[in-house]
Amino acid sequence: MPEARAEGEHPGRLPGAETPGYRPNVPLERSIFRFIMKYSKRQQLVVLGLTFVSWPIIYLTLELPKAIIDQAIGANGGWARDVLGAEMEQIAFLMALSFGFLFFVILSGGVKYVLNVYAGRLGEQMLRRLRYMLYSRILRFPLPHFKKVSQGEIIPMITAEVEPVGGYIGTATSTPLYFGGLLLVYLGFIFAQDVFLGLAATALYPLQIYVIPKLQKRVIALGKARVREVRGLAENIGESIAGIAEIHANDASVYERAGIARRLDRIYTIRYEIFRRKFAIKFLNSFMAQLTPFFFYAIGGYLVIAGDMTIGALTAVLAAYKDLSSPWKELLNYYQLQADIKVKYESVIEQFDPPGLFDEALQLTDDAGPESVGNTLDASGLAYSEDGQSKTVDGANFSIDLDRHTAIVGSGSSGRDDLALLLARLLKGTGGRIELGGQRLDDLPEPFTGRRMSFAGPTPHLFSTNLRDNLDYGLRHRPLRTAADPASDRTRLDRYIRDAHAAANIDADPAADWVDYEAAGVADRTALDRKCVDMLRLLDLGDDLYRFGLRGTIDPDERPDLAEAMLTARAALRSRLDESRQSALVEPFDRARYNTNATLAENLLFGTPAGGAFDIDRLAEHPFVRQVIHESDLADPLLEVGRQLTETMVEIFADLPPGHAFFDQFSFFGSEEMPEYQQLLARTAGQSPDEMREEDRFRLRSLPFKLIPARHRLGLLTEGIQAKALKAREIFAETLPDMLRGEVEFFDPNRYNRAATLQDNILFGKVSYGEANADGKLSTLIGEVLDSLSLRDAVMVAGLAHSVGVGGARLSAAQRQKVNMARGLIKRPELFIVNEGISNLDGAAQRRVLDAFLGEMKGRGVIWSLHRPGFARNFDHIVVLKGGRAVEQGSFAELDKEGSVLRELLESE
């Protein structure tokens, strides 16, 4: 399959999966220094160059103050100096030197700025490169490795643990050089003034250089232990989240808390130890640093008094020494950081080098392999063992025709699962070989196996997007068409590509259209959507999809046709209701009438909340709504309704024990609030609204917002109040401030409501509480209407936007399996390998789905590892597995005989 590059694609972007600077299968550098040298030699040289440039400038910023004091200020009389051939007065000379000083200070700051920015960017690039390399490693881990390492361990390694590595790399050469140089410059300056002073300033350095690393060693070891413990913490937390149901179901929350507490204690002790040692080192350092000035005052002072040194020189030396301590400190810090980073880097890297990594060249190649999977799959001497000892597959020999359907049957311990994974190349065999059309399966590129073959296991993963993205996941191999016009933002794209290449990241645009329609046998998105619907229907998911669609929303700007069709359906439903004299099932939204099946809140808003501002359950709290209530004279009536409602609730529910289920189901407030409301009633009895407390008024007025006349039948919302509510509805709509306009989609019989579901758009009203079985009748009627307008498929297409939740958690296990099978079918594989792919469906559904699936795959290869041997009847060919070997092969009729292993399996089912 050649990769078609879209027109208008940015010339800087590379076709396919190539990435400059990134070589497949490149080994990870074991030491951070080698990593730095390998990937940033040139940049480090630039850093060095900049650092060298900075030295003479810094020296001048030291030299000039001395000249200013000694020559310009300190000299007396006889002035006029020869500076660069021009005569200068004392003041002019002072000014010239002062401005010169200013200039070099700014220049030195500027150089430092450039250096810092350059080094910072270098660090980020290297961090990005490292993270990308580590992530790429994960994509190459052999599957069994994930049984040994948990998400909780791996994720913090790539996110948090390597973070400081980036910061370090940028300064790896510059810091020691810059501050080391600085130190030399300052020292040079001091020595130039007086050799004795120089010796005094550096007298204690050898001691520090000797002692500090000794102390540091233990801190490094502790740092290593800390990394390990924090990883363990991440793993503990991950385990708790994954096992949350088990924790509750076994009353193990205390046990888990204890486990975490012990872990936290270990981290605490280690950190405490680290701090103690770090601060001890710091103390030692600063003590030694303070010893030196002592020598200056003593020796320097003596020299000045003895007249061997000017006071200007001593002042400058003292200033230089003050500056000296800062680079020295930085150097020591750098040393500590360097040791820390070395530990971090190495402890991360060693986790990313398990044996048996997938060959990256086979993943990143654009070579799509042979033209087809060939006619047969041959396994010879195939063996697999996870730990190198007990073999689950043990010398299996068989040959499978790839235009027929083959079942693999065997008991749970026969090696069926591993065999299926071996055939799908998700596991690598430890012995023997699999050949596909005469080619070794191990040598085939992933663009071949991942496009011409499908695999469906028992516990599929769905990505946390919607159904559509999950279904076309098998079609997204390379970017095929650009997302938007790239010319519109050329510079940003240029930058993106440049920076991606600088860190050896892939430059492909994930927002581009990656979907290979051709592979699915369709022309475009619309046709693919229809195909997705067909496949889900085929796999018994059609009704669910239809329901997802009805309960979902669409963007009428994207699908004006569907929005328009929903309005037609709305009208059709209305006339169907009228014809069948069932119009009482729905109370339509009518701007001029109060809807007795809706809450007061819904009646006021008379629309669907479209943003976060108007939460229908808390509408009474909104300042604008409160204002509308007052303007429409509803304030006092609502207060009275609120009082009566509270009285009724107190009367009905006061006798119930606290926490009784009726409170949740029926009451307007919970049992714990009961005493508060009783007090509220007592407090406000006989009070006029003005006499009540502000919060009491607010509370009472809020309650009726949840009243539904047809449901609660309390007779509290009288016609008079309803009329006022209609007035409030008008005022709300007319005076709604512009900034709130997008927050509500008003009910309009002639417009599609973008915030409401498709079903609510068709109903355009509230389902009547009083009508028996209204929901069931309406769902039948809506189905009939949609069928008569040929809209059912369109609704199902809308259902493809249904969000599946984290890891598909919003779907049932059976639904996830069906979606996974559909995903495998949509890419039209030549060979579909299934391992218990529909085991979570109920018995009848399994049979239906199996039949439909095999019908769809007619003439193409299917290898299905069956959890129920009885289903083998539906297959052309059967391989019976026992103890990791193929013990029987043939058709069902041939094998189903007295004494055969298949018969034994069938009978034990």
Partner 1 sequence: MSLNEEVEILRNIPMFANIESSKLKLLAFTSERHTYGEGEFLFRQGDEGDSAYIIVDGEADVIIDTDEGPLTVAHFRRNALIGEIAILTDVPRTATVQATTRLDTMVVSKELFFRLVMEFPQIGVEIMRELAKRLEATNARIRELTAA
Write out the residues near partner 1 by the rule CB under 8 A. 581, 584, 648, 651-653, 655-656, 661-662, 665-666, 710-715, 769-773
The residue among 718 and 812 lying less far from partner 1, judged by its C-beta, is: 718
**Quick one: which H or E segment has residue 765?**
strand 765-767
The residue among 359 and 771 lying less far from partner 1, judged by its C-beta, is: 771
Query: Nearest 5 degrees, angle CA 595-CA 600-CA 601?
Result: 115
The residue among 466 and 644 lying less far from partner 1, judged by its C-beta, is: 644
Q: What six digits make up the tokens of 539?
A: 């796999």
Q: What six digits make up the tokens of 54?
A: 């900075």
Between β-strands 765-767 and 831-835, what pairing exists: parallel, antiparallel or unpaired? Answer: unpaired
Question: C-beta of 681: minimal distance to partner 1 in Å?
Answer: 15
Question: C-beta of 904: minimal distance to partner 1 in Å?
Answer: 42
The residue among 488 and 773 lying less far from partner 1, judged by its C-beta, is: 773
* Residue given tokens 């297409």 in the structure block: 797
The residue among 195 and 654 lying less far from partner 1, judged by its C-beta, is: 654
CB-CB contact of 821 with 539 (8 Å)? yes
The residue among 606 and 669 lying less far from partner 1, judged by its C-beta, is: 669
Question: C-beta of 667: minimal distance to partner 1 in Å?
Answer: 9
The residue among 653 and 871 lying less far from partner 1, judged by its C-beta, is: 653
Question: C-beta of 576: minimal distance to partner 1 in Å?
Answer: 16
Distance of alpha carbon 827 from alpha carbon 472, whole angstroms: 8
| 3-state DSSP of 340-371 | HHHHHHHHHHHHHCCCCCCCHHHHHCCCCCCC
The residue among 651 and 694 lying less far from partner 1, judged by its C-beta, is: 651
Distance of alpha carbon 746 from alpha carbon 730, whole angstroms: 11
Main-chain dihedrals φ then ψ at residue 217, nearest 5 degrees: -55, -45
Question: C-beta of 596: minimal distance to partner 1 in Å?
Answer: 12
Question: C-beta of 600: minimal distance to partner 1 in Å?
Answer: 17
Distance of alpha carbon 467 from alpha carbon 818, whole angstroms: 11
Question: C-beta of 836: minimal distance to partner 1 in Å?
Answer: 34
Distance of alpha carbon 809 from alpha carbon 803, whole angstroms: 10
The residue among 42 and 581 lying less far from partner 1, judged by its C-beta, is: 581
Question: C-beta of 656: minimal distance to partner 1 in Å?
Answer: 8
Work out the widest C-alpha separation in the chain, in whole angstroms.
128
Distance of alpha carbon 559 from alpha carbon 554, whole angstroms: 7
Question: C-beta of 689: minimal distance to partner 1 in Å?
Answer: 25
The residue among 546 and 663 lying less far from partner 1, judged by its C-beta, is: 663
The residue among 714 and 854 lying less far from partner 1, judged by its C-beta, is: 714
Question: C-beta of 665: minimal distance to partner 1 in Å?
Answer: 7
Question: C-beta of 782: minimal distance to partner 1 in Å?
Answer: 19
Q: What six digits make up the tokens of 7?
A: 């027109």
Question: C-beta of 662: minimal distance to partner 1 in Å?
Answer: 6
Question: C-beta of 652: minimal distance to partner 1 in Å?
Answer: 5
CA-nearest of 391, 288, 795 to 568 is 795
CB-CB contact of 625 with 604 (8 Å)? yes
Distance of alpha carbon 178 from alpha carbon 50, whole angstroms: 9
The residue among 110 and 658 lying less far from partner 1, judged by its C-beta, is: 658
The residue among 286 and 718 lying less far from partner 1, judged by its C-beta, is: 718
Q: What six digits make up the tokens of 10?
A: 């940015």
Q: What six digits make up the tokens of 161?
A: 């643990």
The residue among 711 and 754 lying less far from partner 1, judged by its C-beta, is: 711
Residue 371 CB neighbour total at 10 angstroms? 10
Question: C-beta of 712: minimal distance to partner 1 in Å?
Answer: 7
Q: Which residues share a beta bridge with 765? A: 588
Main-chain dihedrals φ then ψ at residue 433, nearest 5 degrees: -150, 155
Question: C-beta of 364: minimal distance to partner 1 in Å?
Answer: 60
- What residues contact residue 43 under an 8 Å CB cut-off, 6+ apart? 118, 122
Question: C-beta of 606: minimal distance to partner 1 in Å?
Answer: 25
DSSP 8-class letter at 897? S
* H helices present in 609-750, as ranges: 623-631, 635-653, 661-666, 674-684, 694-702, 709-712, 719-735
Distance of alpha carbon 226 from alpha carbon 271, whole angstroms: 7
In angstroms, how far is CA 388 from the centroid of its own chain? Answer: 36
Distance of alpha carbon 145 from alpha carbon 105, whole angstroms: 57
Question: C-beta of 661: minimal distance to partner 1 in Å?
Answer: 8
Question: C-beta of 635: minimal distance to partner 1 in Å?
Answer: 24
CA-nearest of 58, 177, 62, 64 to 107 is 58
Between β-strands 744-746 and 607-609, what pairing exists: parallel, antiparallel or unpaired? Answer: antiparallel
Could you tell me the CA-to-CA distances from 422 to 82, 138, 295, 382, 431 in Å, in that order?
A: 90, 19, 76, 9, 11
The length of the chain, given as a count of residues: 909
Q: What six digits make up the tokens of 105?
A: 């200070």
Distance of alpha carbon 524 from alpha carbon 257, whole angstroms: 53
Between β-strands 453-456 and 586-588, what pairing exists: parallel, antiparallel or unpaired? Answer: unpaired
DSSP-based three-state secondary structure for 580: coil
Distance of alpha carbon 303 from alpha carbon 309, whole angstroms: 6
Exposure string for 795-805, b = 16+ CB within 10 A, e = fewer: bbbbbbbbebe
The residue among 213 and 675 lying less far from partner 1, judged by its C-beta, is: 675
- Integer Rg of the chain from CA: 39
The residue among 116 and 583 lying less far from partner 1, judged by its C-beta, is: 583
The residue among 674 and 850 lying less far from partner 1, judged by its C-beta, is: 674
Distance of alpha carbon 25 from alpha carbon 133, whole angstroms: 10
The residue among 61 and 597 lying less far from partner 1, judged by its C-beta, is: 597
